[in-house]
Amino acid sequence: MSKFEKSEWAEDKHAKEFMENADIYILERQRLFEILKSFYTYFLGNKAYQRPINVLDLGCGDGALTRELLKEDPKIKVTLIDGSAEMIRNARKHLESYEGFNFIQKTFQELLKDESEGNDKITDGFDFVISSLAIHHLHTKEKEALFRYIHEHLNSGGFFLNIETVKAPTDELESWYRVLWGEWIRKNQIEMDAKENFEYLPEQYKNNPDNHPDTINTQLNALKSVGFQQVDCYYKYGIFTIFGGKK
Ligand SMILES: C[S@@+](CC[C@H](N)C(=O)[O-])C[C@H]1O[C@@H](n2cnc3c(N)ncnc32)[C@H](O)[C@@H]1O
């Protein structure tokens, strides 16, 4: 089993570094957000719900995804979960003006353990479960268990959308995707006039023992196997993808 406590995300300085620099090195981060918002508006926001839409943000970091959704719909009600105390602190700070949000510092492993032992305190049904760049820290079986957890906690007709890095189907493609990512970082750094150089990141990502990406097909199949419908990869650029499904 993967251990959050032994991963770099358990260190505050790693969380801080991500919050400061993610826009520089996460490939097309703004486009990922745009697709998330379009998905939300098309499938959920435009529907005549008589109540606030209930969202679960898994591995929320400082609440970046939730803050994007709030631009589309300021009435959503969100539960934010992350293993990192530093991230939850920052999410709380950024979202302090919103009432009724639920901030939970818990690892996915703890979430699954509580569920299997019947101690899961999250009884809400969610309309939309979102996650970004967090679930690849789990091994394949843990991912499957989390996908099942998500399916069980979704209301009928609800959606799961995961922004995520995936493993390429061959080593040759994996190697090119890293080059592609590096090329994008180089160009983006010039456009953003970045003070630091992050071109080393694709190589570091590959060698990082905390990362356990699976192929897109493995994950789409896992979603189907736990009961999701409309399962598809909604976007892909090298190893960066958006995929999900409907309950
Ligand atoms: C790359 S950051 C992404 C944060 C945010 N979703 C975003 O896109 O800005 C990954 C996040 O996942 C969290 N995380 C990593 N492994 C986790 C685990 N096993 N359980 C819960 N959270 C985890 C980290 O603490 C971190 O906040």
Residues 6+ apart with CB under 8 A from 133: 26, 59, 163, 164, 165
Does residue 133 line the site of ligand 1, with CB under 6 A? yes
Q: Which amino acid is at 206?
A: K
User: What confidence score (pLDDT) does residue 122 get?
Assistant: 86
Q: Which ligand 1 atom lies nearest to the CA of residue 137?
A: 16
| pLDDT of 48 above 80 | no
Closest protein CA for atom 13 of ligand 1: 59
- What DSSP string runs through 125-189? PEEEEEEES-GGGS-HHHHHHHHHHHHHHEEEEEEEEEEEE-B-SSHHHHHHHHHHHHHHHHHHH
Query: How many Å lie between the centroid of ligand 1 and the Cα of residue 185?
Result: 21
Q: What is the pLDDT, as a whole number, of residue 202?
A: 97
How many angstroms does the Cα of residue 193 sit away from the middle of ligand 1? 27
Per-residue pLDDT tens digits for 131-189: 999 999 999 999 999 999 999 999 999 999 999 999 999 999 999 999 999 999 999 99
Ligand 1 contact via 25 beta carbon (within 6 Å):
no
Q: Which atom of ligand 1 is nearest to the CA of 106?
A: 21
CA distance 232 to 72: 23
Report the alpha-carbon distance of residue 154 to residue 178 in Å, rounded. Answer: 34
Q: How far apart are CA 7 and CA 15, in angstroms?
A: 11
Output the pLDDT for position 120.
84
194-244 residue pLDDT tens: 999 999 999 999 999 999 999 999 999 999 999 999 999 999 999 999 999
Asked whether the beta carbons of 43 and 159 are under 8 A apart, the reply is yes
Encode pLDDT of 111-130 as tens digits: 999 999 988 888 889 999 99
The domain limits of the chain are 4-246
Q: How far, in Å, CA of 237 to CA of 27, rounded?
A: 8
- Looking at the CA of residue 84, tell me the nearest atom of ligand 1: 25
Q: What is the DSSP secondary structure assignment for residue 215, as one 8-state letter?
A: B
Average pLDDT score over residue span 75-86: 97
Q: Cα 39–180–190 angle (5° rounding)?
A: 90
Give the pLDDT of residue 195: 93
- Going from the Cα of 26 to the center of ligand 1, the distance in angstroms, rounded, reads 14
Instruction: Give the number of other Cβ atoms within 10 Å of residue 124's Cβ.
Output: 12
Helix H or strand E encompassing 80: strand 77-82
- Check if 137 has its Cβ closer than 6 Å to any atom of ligand 1: yes
Distance (angstroms) between ligand 1 centre and the Cα of 19 equals 11
Residue nearest to atom 5 of ligand 1 (CA): 61
**Most confident listed range (1-5, 50-54, 183-187):** 183-187
Return the best residue to mutate from 84, 109, 165 for the ligand 1 pocket (most ligand atoms within 8 A of CB). Answer: 84
Q: What is the dihedral of CA 208, 205, 137, 150, to 10 degrees?
A: -170
Q: Which CATH number fits domain 4-246: 1.20.120.80, 3.30.70.20, 3.40.50.300, 3.40.50.150?
A: 3.40.50.150
Q: Coil, helix or strand for 242?
A: strand
* pLDDT for the residue 2: 77
The response to whether residue 57 sits with its C-beta less than 6 Å from ligand 1 reads no
Establish whether residue 87 lines the binding site of ligand 1, counting it when its CB lies within 6 angstroms of any ligand atom.
Answer: yes
The answer to whether the CB of 143 falls within 8 A of the CB of 221 is no
